[in-house]
Amino acid sequence: MMTTIIPMIPQLLIGAADLTAAFLFLYGLHRMSSPVTAPSGIFVAGIGMAVAILASFFYAFSVTQAAQSHLMTNIGLVILALVIGGGIAWWSGRSVAMTAMPQMVAIYNGMGGGAAGAIAGVELFGGKAVGVTALVVTLGGALIGAVSLSGSLIAWAKLDGVIHKPLRFKGQQIFNGLLLLATLAVGVYLVAATQDQSLLVLSLPASIYLFFVCSLALGIFMTLPIGGADMPVVISIFNAFTGLAVGLEGFVLQNPALMIAGMVVGAAGMLLTLLMAKAMNRSVANIVFSNFGEVTKHKQGNIAGSLKPIQAGDAGIAMRYASSVIIVPGYGLAVAQGQGKLYEFVKLLQAGGVSVKFAVHPVAGRMPGQMDVLLAEAGVPYDMIFQLEDINEQFATTDIALVIGANDVVNPAARTDKSSPIFGMPILNADKAKKVFVVKRGKGKGYAGIVNALFYGENCDMVYGDAQEVLIKMIEAVRGLGLPAVK
C-alpha cells in the first residue's frame, strides 16, 4: 500500500499547491476591486505565484530516466533564472518612476506573452502536443503569445520615446490582414502535416520557425501604426492577450494554476479593454480591425477667443476664496511629480472650507488607472476621487475646475467637432465650470495632437509652467493669507 502511495506524493502536493495558488489568485483579484484593499490583493496574488513556483520543483521527482543525468544542472539553471528575474523585478518595481509605469507594464506584458510562446515552442519542437486539439490549442497560445511579445516591445518603444511617430504605409491594413491569414495558413499546415506525414512540403521544424516569425511580425506591424492617444487601450489589449496565451498553454500542460491565472488575467484584460473602448466611444472591433490608432487628418476650424495667461499665485488665491473646486489630473502632473504638492495645496483649500474633489477620466495618463495610483501615492483619500460618470454633472455647479497636465480628456471638440478624431469620446465637462484654470507647460497640443478649444474659452485662464513649480507658487500664495492646513 505504502509503496503505491509514496510515488504519488509529489503529484498530490503539486495538485494541492496548484489549487491553493488558484484560490489565492482569485482572492487577490477580488481584493484588487477596491483601491483600499488593492495593496493586500497584490500581496495575496504574489503569495499564490510563489506557491505555484515552489510547487513546480516537485516535478523533479517524476522526470524521465533520460533526463535524470541533467536534473541537477536544470535545477541550478531554474534557481539562477529565479534569482536573476526576481532580482530585476524587485529592483525595477521599487525604483521605477510613476511616469515610467506604462513602459514597465508593457515590458512585463511582453515577457508574459514571450513565456507563453516559449512553452508552446518547447511543446511543438519536442513533439509533445499530440492530437488535433492539443496542437490547435498550442498553436493558438504560440500565436497570441508571440503577438503579445513583439507588440508589447513596440508599445514600450513608443511609450519610452524610442519610436517617436506612428509608422504607416499605404495598404497597411490589407498587408496586416494577409499576414494574419498567412500565419493561420502555416498553423493549419502544421496541424495537417503532423497528422499526415505525406502532406509534408516543408519540414516541421522549419514550419514551426516560420509560424513564429509570422506571428512576431504580425505583432510588430499591428502595433507600429498606433498613435499615442490609443496607447492605454493597446496596453490593455496586450494584457488580455498575455493572459489568454498563458491560459491556453496551461491547458496544454494540464496545469490548473496556469489555466486559472491566465484566464483571470485574460478576462480582466478584456473587460478593461471593453471599458476603455467605451470611454473612447469606439468599439473593440473598430480598434482591432479598423483604423487602429489612426489620427484622422482634418483641418481644425478657427477657434474663437484667445489664450489668457494668469499668474500661479493669483489662481491659487482665487481657489482659496471659492466654495468648490474640482481638480482634473493628467499625465503632465505625473511628469512633474507634482502629486505631493497638489495634495498639500488641497489641504490648504480644505482648511479654508473649500470643497475639493478629483475627477479622473478612464483613459487619463498613458495606462489604465495611472492617475488613481498617482493620487494614492500622494495620500489623497479614495473618497475624494470620482470617475467620469459620477462627477460630470457637478462641473456645472462648481466654482472652479483646475486642470493639471490633462488635455484631450477635457477637449470640448469631442462634443462639437464631427471631424475631430476624438469626436464622440466622453470627456470631463471642465469647460462647464464657472471658472477654469489650466496648468500647462506651454502652448503645445496634447498627446493626440489636437488643439483644445477649452483653453480659448471665456471662462478659462492658462497657468504656464511645470506643474510642481506652479503648485509651489499656489501654496506660497495661499499660505500668505495666513491660514493653517488641515491635518
Residues with a known catalytic role: 408
| Residue at grid coordinates 477637449 | 411
Torsion over CA: 106, 404, 274, 41 (sign) = positive
Residues 75, 60: contact at Cβ < 8 Å? Answer: yes
Q: Are the C-beta atoms of residues 296 and 421 closer than 8 Å to each other? A: yes
Q: Which residue has the cell 533526463?
A: 67
- By the 10 Å C-beta count (0-12 exposed, 13-18 middle, 19+ buried), 65 is classed as exposed
d(CA 370, CA 233): 13
And the C-alpha cell for 479? 499660505
Residue at 196: amino acid letter? D
Q: Pull the grid cell for residue 52.
A: 505555484
Partners of residue 463 on adjacent β-strands: 439
Q: CB-based contacts of 121: which residues, under 8 Å, 6+ apart?
A: 142, 208, 212
